Amino acid sequence: MTFSDIEAALSNTGRRAYAGIILAFLLDAHDRGADLVEKHTVVENVRITDTNVSAVARRLTEQGIIEILYWDTKSESPTWSSLRNGAWSVPGYRLLPAILQLYRRC
């Protein structure tokens, strides 16, 4: 993946500005040691509505920028999983290795 690919992927989300803000936030979080960031943390810090963060995150996943994992709050021993288990699953976002390599974060 190249920076040009990233630019095209961000544009392909249909919400280029929001996608760029979320990407920057996740890169900063990674630099602070956070491999995965819960959605509510993203919403609180980037000041984009919950609905818009969700929509852009789905599109960033489709574009190969991030992975969405879910924490099942109803489970006795919850773990992060790519499978959503109902409305009580809390989403978290993680940058994919190709993105971290490009930004020299690996």
Each residue of 3-39: pLDDT tens digit?
999 999 999 999 999 999 999 999 999 999 999 999 9
Q: Give φ, ψ of 62 to 5 degrees.
A: -60, -30
Each residue of 49-104: pLDDT tens digit?
999 999 999 999 999 999 999 998 887 888 898 888 877 899 999 999 999 999 99
Task: Say if residues 106 and 97 touch (Cβ distance below 8 Å).
Answer: yes
Q: Specify the pTM.
A: 0.92
Domains and CATH numbers, the chain: 3-102 (1.10.10.10)
Measured between alpha carbons, how far is residue 94 from residues 8, 28, 76 in Å?
20, 12, 24
